[in-house]
Every structure is written in C-alpha cells, then in structure tokens.
Chains A and B, each alone.
Chain A
Amino acid sequence: MATRAKTSSNSNLLDPDFMARLERLEFVSRKIFAGKMRGERRSKRRGESVEFADHRPYVEGDDLRFLDWNIAARLDRFFIKQFLQEEDLHVSILLDASKSMEWGKPSKGHYAKQVAAALAYIGLSNHDRVSIYPYANGLVGELPGVRGKRLMAKVVDFLTTLEFEGAGNFTLACKQYAIRHPQRGIVLVLSDFFEKGGFETGLRYLLGRELDLYCIQVLSPEEIDPELAGDVRLVDVEDQDTAELTVSRALLNRYKQNLQAYCGSLKEYCTRRGISYLFTATDVPFDQLLLSYLRRRGLLK
C-alpha cells in the first residue's frame, strides 16, 4: 500500500522503507480528546467499550443494561458500571504554503511537505482523522478529514500538487481554521514563522480552541547561517520588498543574533502557553526528525 502510494504519486516525498518504519509509530496526545468516531484512543466520555472504568450510583433513567447486578445482589444497592469509550483523534496539519517556503536548498517547502506526509501517514496508520490545510494569505486549500491508511495516496497527491504561492498571512489562516473547526484535536503548524504580521495573534486564535498545538519551525541552512558577501540588494520573494545592504561581519553577526532572538521569542511564547515548539533545519534528515526527535519531544510514541 505504501509502495503503491509512493509510485502512484510519482514523487520522492516518502520512501517506502521509511513509511514502513512510520507504521510502527503512532500519535500520542498528551490530552485525550473527544472525537466523532470511535478510534483507538480513550475518551473522557464513558462509553461502551469492554474496558471497565468505574462505578456510579444508579439514578432514575439510567440504562438498566449497565446495572451491576452482582453488587445489587450483594449490597442491595444499585450501581451503574461505566466503561471507557475509545474515540478517533482529529489531526490537523497547518502547512505554510507561502512563496517563502519554496526557498532554500533543499527547499523548506519540500521538507515541510515530507514532514506533513509522514505525520499524516502516522495519523492514518492509527486510524486518526487527518486534515491538511495549506495556507498562504489565508487558507488556500483543504484536505478534509481522511481516515485510514488506504487514503494515503490521496494525501500524497494533495501534497504533491500543492504550489507555494503568495505572501503568508498566518493570522488570517488561523482565524479561518478556528472558525471552520470547532472540534478539538491535535494541530500541527509547519512553517518558517517569518511573519511580518507576527505570529502571536494567530496562535492565540488556535489556543482559544483548546487544541493540542505543535509548532514546527522549518528553516533552511542558508537562513540560519547566510553566506552573503559584498554589496547586495535583497529581494523578498513574497512581497518583492527590497533591502540594500553591504554585507559585513558585524551585519551577519547582528542578523544571527536577531534570528536567535526571534526564534527564542517564538519558543518562549509557545512554552508559556503549553504549545510544543520544535525547531528544525532542512539539513536535518527528516526521517531522523520524525523517528527520534519528534518521539523524544513527546509528539510520537
């Protein structure tokens, strides 16, 4: 199946060995969510699974089927048996599809697609409901709730055909997402977070939904350690904004400082609000990111 998905999509997004190893992973969520369908996750809602959860005193109107007759016989009092209910998990991937993601070698966009595909695959393998929302200036597409591994091909197709276009507006995208998805679940944001409008407002929209949030910041090595020299005129690929500068050591140092401070502020913002933050460069092999790094950070188990 994985192989088919790979071949049919005719892309190098996921390689079959890697997908096989992904199968062994599954999502862990630090919170237990209520879902639309029963999945392989426990829910807070007491349900009809086989696993016993608790007793509670009988009140009128309760389903007599769950009455614990043994206790009634022994104590002459009525208790209702409660069972854990298993639910499916809603996993949303917010993928930055702005023009800036197409930059870098390898491009951040490609890397982000790989990560998104892998995460989607893991979600599908665990019968979770996976949605992918690429965004640029607002949400620009949607792969709504797919479930089941056999739909992986659909996911890969979606990602492969995805184009990086236009300027990013994270705030607008988050607002739209929050309106469209009242359900709780896991939200993964894959972006470079180079937002001229700031990331705070956007994240606040998501936080208001009590979602389990993961931010993965993807930067290319050229952004982390730029190799510029001489007098250059930098052109922003998104809005064609230009910056004329003469590159100097002091400027480079200052840039790195600023970058660090920016990432640091993002990380701190996330940590304070219970958002998991992850920083990765595109030269970190993405399978390593998934297999060891993400697992270590508690996203996978």
Chain B
Amino acid sequence: MSFLSPWMIAAAAGLTVPPLLLLYFLKLRRQEMPISSTFLWKRAVEDLHVNAPFQRLRSNLLLILQLLILLLAAIALGKPMLEQALSHESTLVLMIDQSASMTVAEANGLTRLEIAKREAKKLIDGMSDDARAMIIAFCDRATVVSSFDTNREALKRKVDSIEQTQSKSTLSEAIALAEAYSQNLIIGGQTTGSDIAPTSAAPAASAIIFTDGRVEDAANVSLERIRSDNVEVVTVGKRDDNVGIIAMDARRNYEQPDLLEVFATVQNFGPEPVRCDAVLRVRDEDGIASQIDVQELSLAPGRLSSEDAPPESGADENAESKEASSSGSKRQAAPPGSVAAVAFDEFAYTGGGIIEVSLTVDDALVADNRAWTVINPPRHVDVLLVTAGNLYLEKVFTGLPVSTKIISPAEYETLDDEALIEDGRSKFDVVILDRYSTDRLPQGNYFFWGSVPKIEGVSMGPRTEDVFIVNWDETHPILRHVNVETIQVYEEFPMQLPSDADVLLEGETSPVLSLLSRDGNDYLICSFPLIMEDAESGEPMANTWWFAKIHFPVFVFNAVQYMSASVAPGAKSSIPPGEPVQVPVANRRKSLNIVRPDGTVDEVPTGGATSTHYARTRLVGVYEARGATAGQDRFSVNLFNQNESDISPAASFSIGASKVASGSRLTSVNRPFWQWVLLGILGVLLFEWIVYNKRVFV
C-alpha cells in the first residue's frame, strides 16, 4: 500500500485529533439528579464493572471510535493506493526462470529468483477463485512444477519449491510444455471422438513469464496455441554489473607435455570500467591448492548507454585486452576493451588435478567468476601398429610424439593376453590394423586401414576403382587442418556400416572414412588402404598419394589424439551446466558416488553397464565420480555463457517474431481505494451511532 499524498494524513490528523481529545476532556459534566436511594444503583454499577471486560476501554469506546473515524478520514485524504496483481484470466501459466542469471542479488537483498517467486505469489493471490494456474520452472530444460490447479495455497507452496540452478535459460521447452498442457485442458473439457477441432469455451490460457530477459532462444520460440498478446513478461532485476569468465582452457605443450598453458577469456558486462585480478590456482590430486599466477585485468565498460559516445577504450594500457576485443564474441560486438584474453605464463606441472581460474571481483553474478578444468598427467600415447609392412605408416609414426610398437598380423594373433590387455581394456591407446581384420578386439580404440572389424553390421565389398570423395565433415577434429580436396584414391573396398556410424568422408555410393562406436570401443574405418597389391602382378603399389601430402601426418596425429583422448579426456572434461555427462564405470560396479561441488553426494546406479550418465550438473564446479575409471573420474561444469553472464535485464523481450509486452503491468496495478476507506468510515460511524444510542456499554 502506498499513499499519493502522505503528508495529508499527518496534516488532517494533526488538525482534527487534538481538538477532539480536548472536547473529550472538557465534556464530562454530569447532570445532578436526586434519587430516593443510591443503594441499588451503586450495586448495579459495581456488578457491571465486575462483569464487563475491557471496561477501561469501554468507558472510552465512543472516543476511540471517533478517533478511528478521524484517522480513517485522514488516510482517505492521503489517497491510498493498493498495489495489486490483478488477473482476470481464468487460466494462467506461470513460467519462472531459474537460470544462473537469476542468482543475482538485487538491491533489497533478494535474489532475482526470490523476487520472481514473490511476484508470482502476488499474482496467485490476485487470482479469482475459479482461476487455474500451472507453474513451469525453466533453465536449460523446463520442469512442470505444478500442473493446473485452483488451490492458491498449494500453488504458492509449489512456487516456493523452485530451486535455483546455475544453467542457461531456454524458453522453447517451457512454451511447448505450457501449450501442451493448456491444449489438454481444453480438450479435456470437450466430448471426445469428434472430428471437429475442439474449441473450448474456456478462455485461452495466458502465459506470464518471470525472467530477467536473458533467454537464449527467445527469438526462436514460436507460439502456436497461446496467442502472443496473451503472453506477458515480468522483468525482474535491475543490476547489470558483472564480470565473467566466458572461456577457459588448459593445454599441455605439444613438444614438452610437462608444460601447461592456461588461457581464459574474461568479459566485462557492466556499465563501469572494472579492474580485477585473474588468479590461477592448481589443486593437485591430493587436494592441495597452490596459487600459480595472478594477472591484472583492466576492462572497459561492456555496456554503452545510448547517449554516451563510444568511450575511448580504458584498456589502452592493456595490450591484451585490445587484442581480445578484435577476436570478438559471437554476439553483438562487445564494446572494445570489455573483453580480455588472459594467457597465463606456461608453467611446469606433471601431475593431474584441477586448474581453477578465478576473478577477484565483487559483482552481481558469482557463478561465472570461477572456472575449472580437469587436467590429467601428461600421458604417453601407446600405439600398436599391426601391419604386414607399410613403410609410409611406420615413417609417419617415427615423427609423432607417441611410442609405437609394430608387429605383424600373425604376431598379433599369438600375442599374450597380458601383453595386450590391462584392466579389461586394451593396453594400447590406439591399435592400427593395416589391411588386416580380426575378431580379437579387446575393449579399446581401433583404426582399420582397408579392412573392417569383424563385428555385426559391418561388411566390406569387393574392390572397386575410381573413388571420389564427394562430401566430408570438415568440423570434425580428426579432419582439422586436413585438405580433403587434394586426396586422391585409386581403389577401395566399399563398406556397409550401421546407420549410427559417423561418416567423415563420404564417397559416391559408400562411406570412405567412418567413425563407429560399439560397446565402448571406437572404430575408425578407412575403406582404402595406403598400399594395395596390384590386381595383375600382385606387386604392392601406392593406392594414394595422400601420404606424400603435408597434411597426412596431421591427419594421423589428429586421429590418434582424438581416439586416445576419448580414453584420457581433457577437452571433454568441461561441460555447460545442465548437460548430461557420460561417466565410464570401473570394473562394472553397481553404482557410482558422485561428489557434487556443494559437497553433497549422489549415488548413481549403473546397472552393471560400462558407462552411465549423470545429469544433475546444474551447479558449476568440479564433480568427482568415485568409482569411475581412473583418469576419467572428474569433470568440471562451467557457465561459459555470455548470454547468462550478461545479467542486465532485457529492456524489451520478443518471443519468436512478436514482441511481448514487457514490464510491470501485471505487478503494479495501483488501485486507489479511498472509496473503501470512506465505506469503512461510514461503517464505524454507524457503529458509533448504535453505541451512542443503545448505550451498549458503560
């Protein structure tokens, strides 16, 4: 409740109350009356005093009532306004953003999520008795917190139960859920079995979205059943000061794996220039943390108000930030100087552990001030090359930083199990089988040249000529820096592969290079060998000149790295919040214990499988999977989302093509209610009249 003219209350009360009190003090002049005997009267008065409660109050009841009237009148003069979330719609869908940007604590100490909850509850309170509402919470996914319900108390409890997450916000799923539910509701009220599209007498559902406007896919959402003018957005939050790490990686030096390089990209999203420190820490496998490096950052404002001329970059003194601004972001170009790339000095670190970069800054959003990545000790990649003799491959491997063992196919078949298998997996990171196929395939990674593994659904046709590579997946890491256009191949064995195989090089009729995953094994299958016996003479002849190209060793190294990396993760160890992660299970254990960043432990049943999925990753930080395969038992969850880090609430909000009413129409309906106060005065006046006339009280 607020008053338009609060001073009127004081003035009116000050002018009227003292005279009334004065009148009361002056008033009592009792009329004198002779009576035959006061005997019975005194007794009556005493009886009444003994029996009547609040007699002190009662003796002044008229005064109190009159004071009340004056006060009410004064309040009415103050033009009271009631802030009310009024809603006449009978079907409401409340969508509440629970993403990372909603953790921002606003000026009143409440987080945006708490404000959104409060507004939602206010709205629920304002619902009419027969109105229904459903509640959906959304972040990277949408959850139905409550289906349609008319019980306001239950709805409010459900609103309270919405949890804060640290993931990004997407709306499409929430909208889809809302539309599905409201559609069901309409159909549910109709007779079924009719061909006529159900049209309900119930008014269309209206959706109210409580968000700070930082919704990633708002532009891609399409509204079908809910009309866009039935959608309203309640924007919560005002703060916009935030500095966040939007990217971070740790890499080992190619030539000297003992050296570790750490990069991070930091962006200032706030309107003020920011100076802060980026601190690099390493937590080794024993959990002992040590600070490695500190870099001072100076970031220009990330937000330009429209009146401001583009500020001269405050980052002149910082060469790094200048470079960073040119690298830019995918979003609208960040103002120059607001993005800084931090490259920490290389440092020697041979152990495994967790690399953490944190910003020493006090800003609105905490989730993006720290970033983690899991590193493993530098590993020597062991490659087993099974070939009857292939000079080109052997030569290539001598130049690569891997240790290679070369054996013949016959030797492979007779190799002891101890020499080949360790912990149920192949001892070698990658086994390369050159023109040789076998079913001795312990769990591991295999690269077949001109042959296919003997597994179900994979077969090889007769040799055919004239191979044309018509299409390729240039984004795949294996093909990075590989100039596929220049590859010429004479002959191949066309492959038949299961449909889930990942085709990297595609020929005219069949795949040329494919990646297939089966039961934890990765197979990279190339349909052509490097060397092919001549059809007539049987002389080995080069089948392609690819090995003469400079990008051939790059390809081989990519392949070996990619496949061994699937054993020793590094690049995959950071995932965005909310994304499920695959955890390999050691020794087919029945369950895993996952230690979450907040210290709680989740028990995940595995069902005896070799790997399991874990999806409760909505908190940023490092997760440790106890019972997972060694070296793969940790993963980090980082926000790395410019959209979430840019916490300033969106001024306008559009869903799909239509702009949606944004703002506070719903929550700040100011209704004057001096009429009700006047009505109250009349009521009190009536009561006072009754009291005076009937003399109900002493």
* A interface residue numbers (CB < 8 A to B): 100-101, 103-104, 108, 192, 194, 196, 220, 223, 228, 230-238, 241-251, 254-255, 257-259, 262
Query: Residues 83-119 of chain B: 1 if any A CB is under 8 Å from the residue's CB, otherwise 0?
Result: 0000000000000000000000000000000000000
Least CB separation from B698: chain A residue: A248
CA distance A238 to B39 in the complex (A): 11
Q: A232 touching B30 by the CB < 8 A rule?
A: yes
A202 shortest CB reach to chain B, Å: 16
CA distance A196 to B696 in the complex (A): 29
Given known A232-B30, A245-B41, A248-B696, contact A254–B47 (CB-CB < 8 A): yes
Taking CB atoms, residues of chain A closer than 8 Å to B45 are 243, 245, 251
Asked if B32 lies at the interface with its beta carbon under 8 angstroms from chain A, I say yes
Least CB separation from A235: chain B residue: B34
Q: A250 touching B36 by the CB < 8 A rule?
A: no
CA distance A248 to B45 in the complex (A): 10
Q: B695 touching A246 by the CB < 8 A rule?
A: yes
25 CB-based A-B contacts, threshold 8 Å: A100-B37, A101-B36, A103-B34, A104-B36, A196-B37, A231-B30, A231-B31, A232-B30, A233-B31, A234-B34, A234-B38, A236-B38, A238-B37, A243-B35, A243-B42, A243-B45, A245-B41, A248-B697, A248-B698, A250-B696, A251-B44, A251-B698, A258-B40, A258-B43, A259-B40
Q: B36 touching A243 by the CB < 8 A rule?
A: no
Least CB separation from B693: chain A residue: A249
Taking CB atoms, residues of chain A closer than 8 Å to B43 are 258
A281 shortest CB reach to chain B, Å: 13
Q: B31 touching A241 by the CB < 8 A rule?
A: no
Q: A194 touching B36 by the CB < 8 A rule?
A: yes
Asked if B331 lies at the interface with its beta carbon under 8 angstroms from chain A, I say no
Given known A233-B30, A243-B45, A258-B47, contact A220–B36 (CB-CB < 8 A): yes
Interface residues on B, range: 20 to 34
Asked if B48 lies at the interface with its beta carbon under 8 angstroms from chain A, I say yes
Given known A230-B31, A232-B32, A237-B34, contact A251–B40 (CB-CB < 8 A): no
Among A194, A234, A249, A254, contact of B695 (Cβ-Cβ < 8 Å): A249
A261 shortest CB reach to chain B, Å: 9
CA distance A258 to B45 in the complex (A): 10
Which residue among B30, B38, B47, B59 has the maximum number of chain A CB atoms within 10 Å of its CB? B38
Taking CB atoms, residues of chain A closer than 8 Å to B391 are none
CA distance A196 to B41 in the complex (A): 12
Query: Residues 209-247 of chain B: 1 if any A CB is under 8 Å from the residue's CB, otherwise 0?
Result: 000000000000000000000000000000000000000
Taking CB atoms, residues of chain B closer than 8 Å to A244 are 30
Among B33, B47, B697, B698, contact of A234 (Cβ-Cβ < 8 Å): B33
Query: Residues 627-663 of chain B: 1 if any A CB is under 8 Å from the residue's CB, otherwise 0?
Result: 0000000000000000000000000000000000000
B56 shortest CB reach to chain A, Å: 14
Q: A241 touching B38 by the CB < 8 A rule?
A: yes
Least CB separation from A100: chain B residue: B36
Given known A248-B696, A251-B45, contact A235–B32 (CB-CB < 8 A): yes
Q: B39 touching A223 by the CB < 8 A rule?
A: no
Taking CB atoms, residues of chain A closer than 8 Å to B44 are 251, 254-255, 257-258
B55 shortest CB reach to chain A, Å: 11
Q: B41 touching A234 by the CB < 8 A rule?
A: yes
Taking CB atoms, residues of chain B closer than 8 Å to A245 are 41, 45, 698
CA distance A215 to B169 in the complex (A): 99
Taking CB atoms, residues of chain A closer than 8 Å to B697 are 248, 250
In addition to A234-B35, A243-B45, 17 A-B residue pairs with Cβ atoms within 8 Å of each other are: A192-B37, A220-B36, A230-B31, A231-B31, A232-B31, A233-B32, A236-B36, A236-B39, A241-B38, A242-B38, A243-B41, A246-B59, A249-B695, A251-B45, A251-B48, A254-B44, A254-B48
Asked if B201 lies at the interface with its beta carbon under 8 angstroms from chain A, I say no
Taking CB atoms, residues of chain B closer than 8 Å to A196 are 37, 39
Q: B33 touching A228 by the CB < 8 A rule?
A: yes
Least CB separation from A249: chain B residue: B695
CA distance A234 to B34 in the complex (A): 6
CA distance A230 to B29 in the complex (A): 10
Taking CB atoms, residues of chain A closer than 8 Å to B33 are 228, 232-235
Taking CB atoms, residues of chain A closer than 8 Å to B36 are 100-101, 103-104, 108, 192, 194, 220, 223, 236-237
Least CB separation from B45: chain A residue: A245
Which residue among B28, B29, B35, B41 has the maximum number of chain A CB atoms within 10 Å of its CB? B35
A21 shortest CB reach to chain B, Å: 31
Least CB separation from B41: chain A residue: A243
Asked if B330 lies at the interface with its beta carbon under 8 angstroms from chain A, I say no
CA distance A42 to B47 in the complex (A): 52
Query: Residues 293-325 of chain B: 1 if any A CB is under 8 Å from the residue's CB, otherwise 0?
Result: 000000000000000000000000000000000
CA distance A255 to B45 in the complex (A): 8
Asked if B395 lies at the interface with its beta carbon under 8 angstroms from chain A, I say no
Taking CB atoms, residues of chain A closer than 8 Å to B476 are none
CA distance A242 to B42 in the complex (A): 9
CA distance A242 to B43 in the complex (A): 13
A248 shortest CB reach to chain B, Å: 3
Q: A262 touching B40 by the CB < 8 A rule?
A: yes
Asked if B694 lies at the interface with its beta carbon under 8 angstroms from chain A, I say yes
CA distance A249 to B695 in the complex (A): 6
CA distance A101 to B31 in the complex (A): 22
Least CB separation from A245: chain B residue: B45
CA distance A235 to B33 in the complex (A): 6
Which residue among B30, B36, B38 has the maximum number of chain A CB atoms within 10 Å of its CB? B36
A19 shortest CB reach to chain B, Å: 29
A106 shortest CB reach to chain B, Å: 13
Least CB separation from A230: chain B residue: B31
B695 shortest CB reach to chain A, Å: 3
Q: A231 touching B28 by the CB < 8 A rule?
A: yes
CA distance A84 to B44 in the complex (A): 55
Query: Residues 42-64 of chain B: 1 if any A CB is under 8 Å from the residue's CB, otherwise 0?
Result: 11110110001000000100000
Taking CB atoms, residues of chain B closer than 8 Å to A231 are 28-31
CA distance A15 to B48 in the complex (A): 46
CA distance A246 to B44 in the complex (A): 12
Q: A248 touching B32 by the CB < 8 A rule?
A: no
Which residue among A228, A243, A249, A258 has the maximum number of chain B CB atoms within 10 Å of its CB? A243
Which residue among B30, B32, B696 has the maximum number of chain A CB atoms within 10 Å of its CB? B30
CA distance A103 to B36 in the complex (A): 6
Given known A245-B41, A255-B41, A259-B40, contact A235–B35 (CB-CB < 8 A): yes
CA distance A298 to B31 in the complex (A): 45
CA distance A110 to B48 in the complex (A): 34
Among A223, A235, A250, contact of B48 (Cβ-Cβ < 8 Å): A250
Least CB separation from A219: chain B residue: B36
A165 shortest CB reach to chain B, Å: 14
Q: A255 touching B698 by the CB < 8 A rule?
A: no
Q: Which 3 A-B pairs have the closest CB atoms?
A: A248-B695, A194-B37, A103-B36
Taking CB atoms, residues of chain A closer than 8 Å to B48 are 250-251, 254
Taking CB atoms, residues of chain B closer than 8 Å to A101 are 36
CA distance A242 to B36 in the complex (A): 11
A99 shortest CB reach to chain B, Å: 9
CA distance A236 to B31 in the complex (A): 14
Taking CB atoms, residues of chain A closer than 8 Å to B32 are 232-233, 235
Within 8 A of A (CB), among B13-36: 28-36
Least CB separation from A237: chain B residue: B34
CA distance A295 to B694 in the complex (A): 43
CA distance A188 to B39 in the complex (A): 24
CA distance A38 to B695 in the complex (A): 63
Taking CB atoms, residues of chain A closer than 8 Å to B47 are 254, 258
B61 shortest CB reach to chain A, Å: 11
Query: Residues 654-698 of chain B: 1 if any A CB is under 8 Å from the residue's CB, otherwise 0?
Result: 000000000000000000000000000000000000000011111
CA distance A243 to B59 in the complex (A): 16
A77 shortest CB reach to chain B, Å: 68
Least CB separation from B37: chain A residue: A194
Q: A236 touching B37 by the CB < 8 A rule?
A: yes
Within 8 A of A (CB), among B570-612: none
Least CB separation from B29: chain A residue: A231
Q: B696 touching A249 by the CB < 8 A rule?
A: yes
A25 shortest CB reach to chain B, Å: 30
